[in-house]
Structure 1
Amino acid sequence: MPDVGEGLTEAEILTWYVKPGDTVTDGQVVCEVETAKAAVELPIPYDGVVHELHHPEGATVDVGRPIISVATAAAAPVAAAPTAPATPSAPAREPVLVGYGVSEGPTRRRPRKQGAAVTAVPEGEPRPTTAPAPEPVAAPVEPAVVEPAAAPVRPLAKPPVRKLAKDLGVDLTTVTPTGLDGIISREDVHRAAAPAPQPEPERRSSVPERTPAPEPVAAPATEASDGARVTRIPVKGVRRATARAMVASAFSAPHVTEFVTVDVTRTMKLVEELRSDPDMAGLRVTPLLLVAKALLVAIKRNPEINASWDEMNQEIVIRHDVNLGIAAATPRGLIVPNIKDAHTKTLPRLAGDLGELVAAAKEGKTPPSAMADGTVTITNVGVFGVDTGTPILNPGEAAILAVGAIRLQPWVHKGKVKPRQVSTLALSFDHRLVDGELGSKVLADVAGLLEQPKRFLTRG
């Protein structure tokens, strides 16, 4: 299993496109896997015949573990030598793995081919002086599979857990893992940092002990879990990564959320005008496009909001490039792909990139690179009819803007109560690097731009 993006430690096999006995060629896609960020197709880097699929569909496999063995022409099976000296036998050939080549091992001399049989003699050992008697050709030898060493080079832990251990001063090599496949969890780190107190002695009642009746809940619990009243959904891939990232964000960054309700009637009119603009022909124009443009303008005026917190150096890192993330709900869970260098895009280009981003997310084809290195995020909860919310920061970012539903409401306009298109915006920010003044300025700036969009949002 190759590392398909940003140091991820595992992936789930979604679909196999080949089976044992199939012939494969260099570059042919053999399977689709889902990482914590996206679904990715894996090509095979060799020509040969599929010998074995080591894991079924639905299995979660650690990076570096074998997932497929391929017999290549250069590794064709040969007849075994009849007799060998009393020396350690040559190690079995290691399999070819997708994305990794053969596993690392001690240096060996490649055996020479002589006709239909080959005798491998370890380097430095005397070679036999007599030729072995000919034997019938043996049945093809199946490629041997050599698993990676059982003891990893370093303890298995996800990046957020490693950061937590670093913050708490915990040496991961001293932590006993309790997670699946020996992975260290956040709870393991917390236990190592502050061992749980000894439980108090159980208080015994003065009433004489009686044989307890069977727990009435035990049987129904098992029955319910297998029956129609309970559905258990394994949390894997994107959903598990999202859950862990949100927990890490919520408990590491002090969140503050501010709200503003804004009259977006002019923005909605501008959306209709842009849909008939020749420059926007073939592009999907939505209110989200103008919200994104408004946020980019506000960031240009208040660049300190486009920042991150460097815990190790205790520094605020202000980014000069804006990679605008758009939270997208997909069948596999919530993902946040981003538009790279969004601050440099014209409105038509921004509309095109936004449309491609949303389409790829819906199809589950977002590459891991599209979700890396985001700097600020928009989440559009209004598409679900929700008025507003308190969004949790995307890890590593300083701000996230939630856009609520746009509704026709009574509004005071030019001294009179009139029906107007109204929406509520919510801006969550990391209070370590964004104070109330900066957060308020950015939110008020976005609201002002959406109230009077023509003078600002159509420029550039």
Structure 2
Amino acid sequence: MAQDFRLPDLGEGLPEAELVQWLVAEGDTVALNQTIAEVETAKAVVELPSPHAGIVTKLHAAAGDVITVGSVLISFDTGEADAAAPAAAAPHAAAAEPVAAAAQASAESQVAAETTAAEPNLVGYGAAPRNGDRPKRRARSTGTRAVASDTAVLEAAPHDAIQLGDIADRPIERPRSTPPVRKLAKQLGVDLALVEATGATGIITRADVEAYAARVGTAGASTAVAPVAAPPERSEDRVTRTPIRGVRRATAEAMVRSAFTAPHVTTFLTVDVTATSELLASLKADRSLQEHRIGILAVAAKAVCLALARHPGLNSRWDDDAGEIVEHHYVNLGIAAATGRGLVVPNIPDAHELTLVGLADAIRSLAEIARAGKTAPGDMRGGTFSITNVGVFGVDAGTPIINPGEAGILALGAVRRQPWEHRGEIALRDVMTLALSFDHRLVDGEQGSRFLAEVADILREPGRAMLLR
């Protein structure tokens, strides 16, 4: 029985999503709830589970396509029609193709194994089915780039067919391989179209690429792919055009809306943070705390939480529709993270309740998830104040743009060892610049300056935090 799967609303009310990559190909047999694709909304990259068990008969989009919610994404043959057919149709069953028979057997075995999981667990559609066997997830590459087995490679390989628009209008399949293998081929100057897969699965492995490179030699590979000595061709295509969509478009729209809606004011303060540096060094030397990786960002986050309790104007929002100023009695602290897909600002819920160690752990977790492109849409909603650490790029200061719906954002500059006045003398001290941008509708200059000064006081003398409530 043919079944179509339409792109669902991913829980954000967004009208469309971009297909990042397929994790299955036409002809593949998939299990119920097996991850079949990754799509990117304006909020984050999410995985789509299969709503059916059966054989993939058609992929209706290619990687990079933008699909509207409700459009057909993929079609399946679940094999249910043969089971429901009347007995009179039995003579015709012998003429069915072997692939259809395999699909029916696969579907029947899946139904028998998952009778308690009739409905798929789509994104935003509730809890996962409580069955014993979970579908296998695609393999993830690690820092060691270990060579996976042929079976693992097959499960991990995104090998969607690309429509090249030839005269015959036939889909031509790209060489089947995994992202780490494609990266290796690029590094070695090897064209994957020239590499033959040696395994039974037809997937090009790391060993296949290395063997090809060794066989043709560096010069041969370079000549076969892109002659080094050839002069660059002049053409009109001398620029790269990247469609503006997904996270980058959402970020741009939010920043423009913030910059032209909230009247921004930015104030700067340079502070001696030597005492904080010494505190961090002592914490790093404590073997019981080494795994927590407490850094200057965690200390600044704690200082912000303490200061917001005493300066609630910085922890509020302007509700134009209701004509109200909404003051928050909690802190959902946003941490700006730069990723390959653009800037995201996930937040730490109830950050004011966390200890310094808890904040450090939460910040590290948010950063790791953001770098992997797996930040959930819900993690970027409901922030009340944000911090951005431009110091990690060696930058001293900047004028950060307020995250929409918040009253302020604090930028941390680089910590530099430089001559500084200390107790009436010139000494080498650790110094950094703080930059606070705030919404002048909610916060005036005095409030913003007092808040920034209090954060700076805590970083100058971390022991002062013991006196605050």
TM-score band (shorter)?
0.5 to 0.7
After TM superposition, give the deviation of residue 459 of structure 1 in Å.
9.0
Q: 1:77 to 1:54 in 2, by over 3 A?
A: farther
In structure 2, what is the Cα distance between the partners aligned to 1:322 and 1:7? Answer: 26
Matched with 2:39 is: 33
Matched with 1:399 is: 408
Counterpart check, 1:260 vs 2:232: no
SS in 2 for 1:427: strand
Q: Does the aligned pair in 2 maintain the 1:279–1:348 contact within 8 Å?
A: no
SS in 1 for 2:401: coil
Counterpart check, 1:315 vs 2:324: yes
Hey, which of these two has a bigger chunk of helix by percent? 2
Q: 1:136 to 1:402 in 2, by over 3 A?
A: closer
In structure 2, what is the Cα distance between the partners aligned to 1:315 and 1:41? Answer: 38
- Deviation readout 1:168-221 (Å, 9 max, x if unpaired): xxxxxxxxxxxxxxxxxxxxxxxxxxxxxxxxxxxxxxxxxxxxxxxxxxxxxx
Q: How does 1:53-92 map to 2 (within 5 A)?
A: 53-74=59-80, 76=81
Q: 1:225 to 1:325 in 2, by over 3 A?
A: farther
Match of 1:301 among 286, 304, 310: 310
Letter in 2 for 1:236: R
In structure 2, what is the Cα distance between the partners aligned to 1:458 and 1:348? Answer: 19
Q: How does 1:403-414 map to 2 (within 5 A)?
A: 403-414=412-423
Percent identity of paired positions between Structure 1 and Structure 2? 55
Matched with 1:226 is: 237
Matched with 1:147 is: none
Q: Which runs of 5+ in 1 are unaligned?
A: 79-111, 119-133, 143-222
Q: Does the aligned pair in 2 maintain the 1:225–1:232 contact within 8 Å?
A: no
SS in 2 for 1:252: coil
SS in 2 for 1:282: helix
After TM superposition, give the deviation of residue 429 of structure 1 in Å.
0.8
Q: 1:265 to 1:334 in 2, by over 3 A?
A: same
- Deviation readout 1:256-301 (Å, 9 max, x if unpaired): 1111111111111111111123552311111111111111111111
Matched with 1:12 is: 18
After TM superposition, give the deviation of residue 117 of structure 1 in Å.
5.7
Matched with 2:124 is: none
After TM superposition, give the deviation of residue 137 of structure 1 in Å.
9.4
Matched with 1:145 is: none
After TM superposition, give the deviation of residue 43 of structure 1 in Å.
0.7
Matched with 2:8 is: 2
Q: Does the aligned pair in 2 maintain the 1:225–1:231 contact within 8 Å?
A: no
Matched with 2:458 is: 449
- Deviation readout 1:230-264 (Å, 9 max, x if unpaired): 22222221111111111111111111111111111
SS in 2 for 1:280: helix
Q: Does the aligned pair in 1 maintain the 2:306–2:468 contact within 8 Å?
A: no
Instruction: Give the alignment's TM-score, normalised by structure 1.
Output: 0.67
Q: How does 1:153-302 map to 2 (within 5 A)?
A: 225-227=236-238, 230-302=239-311
Letter in 2 for 1:332: R
Q: Does the aligned pair in 1 maintain the 2:457–2:464 contact within 8 Å?
A: no
Larger radius of gyration: 1
Q: Does the aligned pair in 2 maintain the 1:5–1:369 contact within 8 Å?
A: no
- Deviation readout 1:132-153 (Å, 9 max, x if unpaired): xx9999979x9xxxxxxxxxxx
After TM superposition, give the deviation of residue 458 of structure 1 in Å.
11
Instruction: Give the alignment's TM-score, normalised by structure 2.
Output: 0.66
Report the aligned-residue RMSD: 2.6
Match of 2:445 among 407, 423, 436: 436
In structure 2, what is the Cα distance between the partners aligned to 1:452 and 1:136? Answer: 82
In structure 1, what is the Cα distance between the partners aligned to 2:51 and 2:92? Answer: 36
After TM superposition, give the deviation of residue 445 of structure 1 in Å.
0.8
Matched with 1:427 is: 436
After TM superposition, give the deviation of residue 304 of structure 1 in Å.
2.5
In structure 1, what is the Cα distance between the partners aligned to 2:70 and 2:422? Answer: 63
Q: Does the aligned pair in 2 maintain the 1:294–1:457 contact within 8 Å?
A: no
In structure 2, what is the Cα distance between the partners aligned to 1:224 and 1:424? Answer: 47
Q: 1:77 to 1:68 in 2, by over 3 A?
A: farther
Matched with 1:107 is: none
In structure 2, what is the Cα distance between the partners aligned to 1:301 and 1:136? Answer: 77
In structure 2, what is the Cα distance between the partners aligned to 1:289 and 1:442? Answer: 18
Q: 1:418 to 1:113 in 2, by over 3 A?
A: same
Q: How does 1:337-416 map to 2 (within 5 A)?
A: 337-416=346-425
